[in-house]
Structure 1
């Protein structure tokens, strides 16, 4: 999210999903509990270096929308009846958890 001035004079908190907006930004997990904790601790104002009141309605709507998208069942890209094709060769070191930078097995 980014604190931006839309011409009204007062800064507005905007969700920057494409991560391209200018200005100082802050990261937040798309989780309702994380948003509530950030608001309670006043972490958004500190992260954005802003001392005034922040309206978090747009952020709350974006978090709720993300949660709804995650709750919907994901469509499988495999053909029904066919076993899934592995995307990593066995013994390559990447099959442990799928993260190429991870050393955990």
Structure 2
């Protein structure tokens, strides 16, 4: 055996034996607990809500400053009730034209408030 291999075995034995191995856990939990380790950091905006087609929301980091991102709705897998609801939401509502009558204010009469 070479001297380099003997040195490595002696160092491993002093650390706890040759069966001792060091490993990093690179999973999703590491990203939550520690910072995202990158050499180049992209500017992200943390308070973005992503709305899934089923209505659930997730907070994500997004590269464009947006408050809400809605994922597209799959028409092929939807029921007729969902299609009617979506069609009703997409149609334009009629604008009120006769607003003047609703805004007429009655003249103030202080005698109406006497006991």
Q: TM-score range by the shorter chain?
A: under 0.3
Rg larger in 1 or in 2? 2
> TM-score, with normalisation over the residues of structure 1?
0.21
Higher strand share: 2
> TM-score, with normalisation over the residues of structure 2?
0.19
